[in-house]
Structure 1
Amino acid sequence: MIVVKGETMKTKLITLFYYSILSCISLPLVAYAAGTVSEKTMINPEVSNNVAYSIPASVLQKQVWKPMKLPAMHTIVLSQTSPQINEGNIQGAIATLALPASQGALKITLSSLIKDKQVYLPNVLVFDEKFQPVALYASHSFSYQQPGIFSGERVERTLKITPVSGQKNIYLLIYTTHADLQTSTKMVDPAKAYAQGVGNAVPNIPDPIARHTDTGILTLKVTSERTTENVLADHTFVDPNPNRVPKSISGETEQHFNEAIKKAIKNGDINKALTLLDEAERLGSSSARETFIKMIKSKRST
C-alpha cells in the first residue's frame, strides 16, 4: 500500500474535470515537472467549469498500486470482487498501477476487450510520484478496433508518457464513470467487415452495439525507451566459451527460433526474445542474433 507524506495527501479533494460531449478535445501528457503541475495540464480552460467528479484523497491513499516491471504485457480482469471506487462520477471496478519513471518515455497500449456485446470503457488518470494529477485520458479518446488475426474486438488507445527525470514512479488509475455506463460502442457487423476486406458491396445491415459495463477485461502493453533502445547494450553478446565447437542446428529449427524471436519482439516481450536468442545460439544458430537486432532496430523506428 502506498503511503504518501506531506501536503499532497491532505484531506482536501482533488477536483478533476471531464466533459464527455466535447470529444474533439485531446488531453495528451507531455513532459512534466513534479510539484509544478497546474490545473491546465489536465483540462482545457473552456470546460473548467464542468466538474464531473471529485476523488477524496483518503480514497487514493488506501489503494494498492501494483508495480510493473518493463517491458510488460498484462491482462487485468475487472470483476465485482475487484477494487471499486464509487465516488462522484466514478463507478465500478478499477485498476491501480505503478510504473517506473526512470526509464525514459513510456508507450502504453491499453485495450478493453468486447465480450458478449459488453465492454468496460476506460478512463486513465496519471499521477506523478507525489500523487499530483498530471494527465487525464478520457474515455472518448478510446476508439473501437475490429478483430485481427491475434486480437478480438476491443476499444483501444496508445498513450505516450514522458516523465521528467528524477522521479521513481508514476501511477495510473484506470476507471469508468456513471456517464460512460449510460452510453454504448457501435461495433462493425462481421458481414460488413468481410465485404470491406474482399472488396465486395457492403450490405446495408445494422451494426451491433456493445453495452458499457463496470467490469471487463483489460490488456496493457508497456514499453519504454530503455527497453527498446538500450536492450542491445544491456544484453552482452559475448560467448562465455569462445573455444567451443559450434553445434549444428537444422534449418527448420533455426527458422522456428527466428519466427519466435520476431513474434516476441512484436508483442513487446523483450525478455522472452532474449531467452530465445540465447537458446538458439546455444544450439548453434548463426542467424538468431541478426534476426533479433533487425527486429529491435525495426521496432525502434516505429
Structure 2
Amino acid sequence: MHRLSFLTAGLLALALAGCSSEPLRRVDALTTSPKPLEQPIGQAHSALAAAPTCCSGIEQLPFEPLEAGFAGDVLIDTQAPAYSFKTGKSFFRAFALPAGGPSFEIRLYSQAGSSVLAPNAMLLDSRMRPTRLLDADDFAYVPPTGLKGDSLDARLRIDRSQPDHPGNERYLILYTSDAQMAGQTVLQHPAKAYAKALGNEPPSIPDPMAEHSPVGVIRLVMIPDNAAGSTVKGYVPGYSIGQEMGNELPSAPAPTVLPETSAYYRQSIDTALAQKNLERALRLADEAARVGDSTAKQHLLERIEIR
C-alpha cells in the first residue's frame, strides 16, 4: 500500500456529550505515530459489557463534524459511546464528513502494539442509508515504515464531483465487531524488519502477536483530490445494495453507471495489475459490479489473459 506523508490540518477537538475523553487529536506532519492503547484487554471487555447503549438507531448516533483536510488520531477508549451493531456491541466514534469541496481520500491506520483495535468502518449517505462496510478483508496489516509503527490500514475515496447526488457518502462510523475482537494480528518482529532493510536473511524467530481489543487509536488522514499524487478521475457513486453488506435494507436499484465511472474502475484495475496486486484488482471488479458496472469483471479477465 502506498504511503503518503501525513498532511497538516486544523480541527478543534470536539467533545461528545457525556464523554470525558478527547475523541480527536490533531497531528502534524512530523509527529510520530501515536502509541496504541495498552489497557488490559480483559478490563476493556468488561467495560464494554457494562457500558450502556447510547442510542436506539444509527441515525441517533452522536456524529462529530470533520473539517476538510483533517489529519489526526481517533481515540476509541472505554469513555467512547457504545452501540449494539448487527455485528455486536462496540465502542465507536461517528463523524459527519464535509459535504462540499473537492472529492477526497480517507486513510485509516489502526495503531498496533501488544493489542490493536481491528476496525470496521461504515459509510452512510445523507439519508443515513449504509453505503459501504469495510471489515477484516479491507484492513491490511502493514509493518513499520519511517515514523509509522505497526498498523492495520485501509483507504477509501469519498466522491464530491456531483454535490447533489443522492448516493453521496456523508457519514463515517469507526467501530469493531464480535468476530474482530476474537482474533489477533501477527506483527513483524523488529529484528526481521532490520534484517530485510539491510538485505539480509531474516532470523528464524517468532513474531509478536497483537490481541484484538475493544479499544484503540486510529489515525485518520483526509487527502483532497487536488493533493500531489492524486490521479483519481470520474465520478464513483457510493450507494451499494444493503444486503451485500449484511444490512437489512429494502431492495433498491444501483445508480445508473456513467461512462466516467466505468473508466475509473478500468483504470484502477489496470493500475492494480501493473502493481501485481491481483487481490485489489478482483475487489475493484466486485465493487464495480455492485454499483452496476457488469463489464468490469470481463475487463479484468481480458487484462489477465493479455499478460
Q: Aligning the two structures, in what range does the TM-score lie when normalised by the shorter sequence?
A: 0.5 to 0.7
2:78 is aligned to 80
1:146 is aligned to 143
TM superposition shift of 1:227? 6.6
Residues 23-62 of structure 1: pairs in structure 2 closer than 5 A: 58-62=56-60
- Matching of residue 120 in structure 1 with residue 131 in structure 2: no
1:29 is aligned to none
The one-letter amino acid of 2:134's match is Y
* Paired residues of 2:75 and 2:216 also in contact (CA < 8 A): yes
Q: 2:96 aligns with which of 98, 115, 122?
A: 98
TM superposition shift of 1:153? 1.1
The one-letter amino acid of 2:206's match is P
The one-letter amino acid of 1:182's match is A
The one-letter amino acid of 1:170's match is R
TM superposition shift of 1:134? 1.0
The alignment covers a number of residue pairs equal to: 174
TM superposition shift of 1:213? 0.5
SS state at 1:191 partner: helix
1:71 is aligned to 69
TM superposition shift of 1:60? 1.3
The alignment's TM-score, normalised by the length of structure 2, stands at 0.52
* Paired residues of 1:110 and 1:158 also in contact (CA < 8 A): yes
State the distance in 2 between where 1:228 and 1:201 align.
36
Residues 137-176 of structure 1: pairs in structure 2 closer than 5 A: 137-163=134-160, 164-166=162-164, 170-176=170-176
* Paired residues of 2:158 and 2:169 also in contact (CA < 8 A): no
TM superposition shift of 1:210? 0.7
* Paired residues of 2:69 and 2:224 also in contact (CA < 8 A): yes
Could you list the per-position Cα deviations for residues 10-68 of structure 1 after superposition, in whole angstroms to 9, with x for gaps in the alignment? xxxxxxxxxxxxxxxxxxxxxxxxxxxxxxxxxxxxxxxxxxxxxxx932132111101
Residues 1-302 of structure 1: pairs in structure 2 closer than 5 A: 58-115=56-113, 117-163=114-160, 164-166=162-164, 170-225=170-225
TM superposition shift of 1:192? 0.7
The one-letter amino acid of 2:200's match is N
TM superposition shift of 1:200? 1.3
The one-letter amino acid of 2:91's match is A
The one-letter amino acid of 1:70's match is A
Q: Which structure's CA Rg is the greater one?
A: 1
The alignment's TM-score, normalised by the length of structure 1, stands at 0.53
State the distance in 2 between where 1:58 and 1:185 align.
32
Structure with the larger helix share: 1
SS state at 1:127 partner: strand
The one-letter amino acid of 2:88's match is I
SS state at 1:91 partner: strand
SS state at 1:193 partner: helix
- Structure 1: runs of 5 or more not aligned: 1-56, 230-302
Structure 1 runs of 4+ with >3 Å offset: 226-229
The 1:169/1:69 distance shift into structure 2, 3 A limit, reads farther
TM superposition shift of 1:148? 2.3
The 1:144/1:81 distance shift into structure 2, 3 A limit, reads same
* Paired residues of 2:131 and 2:169 also in contact (CA < 8 A): no
The one-letter amino acid of 1:149's match is G
Could you list the per-position Cα deviations for residues 233-253 of structure 1 after superposition, in whole angstroms to 9, with x for gaps in the alignment? xxxxxxxxxxxxxxxxxxxxx
State the distance in 2 between where 1:86 and 1:128 align.
20
The one-letter amino acid of 1:112's match is S
The one-letter amino acid of 1:120's match is L
What is the RMSD computed on CA atoms of the aligned residues?
A: 2.4
SS state at 2:195 partner: helix
Identity %: 26
2:303 is aligned to none
TM superposition shift of 1:169? 6.6
